[in-house]
Amino acid sequence: MALRLWLSLLVWVNFLGIGKDDEIVIDFWGSLATFKLLAKVLTITLFPPNIKGIDTKKIGGLFLAQLYFKYGAMNSGKSIDILKVAHNYEEQAKPVLLMTSHVDTRTGRGKIASRIGIERDAVVIDEETDIVQIVKDLPHKIYCLILDEAQFLSKKHVHQLAQVVDELRIPVMAYGLKNDFQNNLFEGSRELLLFADKIEEIKTICWFCPKKATMNLRMADGRPVYTGEQIQIGGNESYWPVCRKHYLNPPLDERGKVLAPSLDRSHVGSDEADEL
């Protein structure tokens, strides 16, 4: 750190032209744009991102925006997290833009809804949507773009999110599932894993045991399903968050139906809870 400070000082002394012609200094201070740019460079030099104990968001928004991918299994609270983040921004009079996929049919088009009953309108993304243009056309500045159901995004749309971050300098937080019920990556999730600056897991526990849920078990008429279309629209399927063990071997009754989870979990053994 001491070396970093010393090097920064050397750069600044050199740039300010200390000991040189006064005219250089006057020119420098006359250029507000140059000053702002150098202020950013100095701040990043002194307070590089990802240093423990420094909340980079609080340093005047000088840092470059980042693309976040926050993934979790079904029912891990992704929508609740989105609504919380949006509320936190708006409480400080910082508008955000909420978006969701047209594929999500649980709540109707253009809604981000949590299981605890709170919901918000969201701009719908379909195949034709140009996310960058939508953000550019907004009548006001936004401080964050937040997306639900990001697993359903196309490669093109994930690239547009990267553009929003890199060219418009707006942070993007994309929430979604990582893997489908056959344990394959969704297209949007695969691209986000490749393109995101920050990848975070939103954790929840298995439906059957205290281990962390990392997979999604598709259920139809009480039975586990491992084949079929990745996106089932209008079916009677449901999805349960499960650990690897119970994804591969969910507890079944004599009819081959999945045993309903209950408080009595003696049938799944006595595994120690994972650290969530």
Query: For binding to Zn ion (CB under 5 A), which residues are involved?
Result: 206, 208-209, 211, 243, 246
Residue 222 CB: number of other CB atoms within 10 A?
Answer: 14
Name the minimum Å distance from CB 130 to Zn ion.
Answer: 42
Rounded Cα distance, 274 and 66, in Å = 30
Our CB check for Zn ion shows the closer of 186 and 208 to be: 208
Residue 218 CB, nearest distance to Zn ion (Å)? 16
Given the residues 127, 149, 187, 200, the one annotated as active site: 149
- Rounded Cα distance, 228 and 239, in Å: 14
* CA–CA separation, 125 and 80 (whole Å): 20
Is there a contact between 137 and 112 (Cβ–Cβ < 8 Å)? no
Write out 75-100 in H/E/C secondary structure: CCCHHHHHHHHHHHHHHCCCCEEEEE
Closest CB to Zn ion among 147 and 215? 215
Minimal distance, residue 251 CB to Zn ion, in Å: 9
What's the token pair of residue 257? 């139906």
Q: Which is nearer to Zn ion, 171 or 241 (CB)?
A: 241
* Cβ nearer to Zn ion, comparing 150 with 206: 206
Catalytic annotation present for 149? yes
Instruction: Tell me which residue has its CB nearest to Zn ion.
Output: 206
Task: Supply the minimum distance, in Å, between the C-beta of residue 163 and Zn ion.
Answer: 40
Structural contact between residues 187 and 153, judged by C-beta atoms closer than 8 angstroms:
yes
Structure tokens at 274: 């994972």
Q: Which residues are known catalytic residues? A: 149
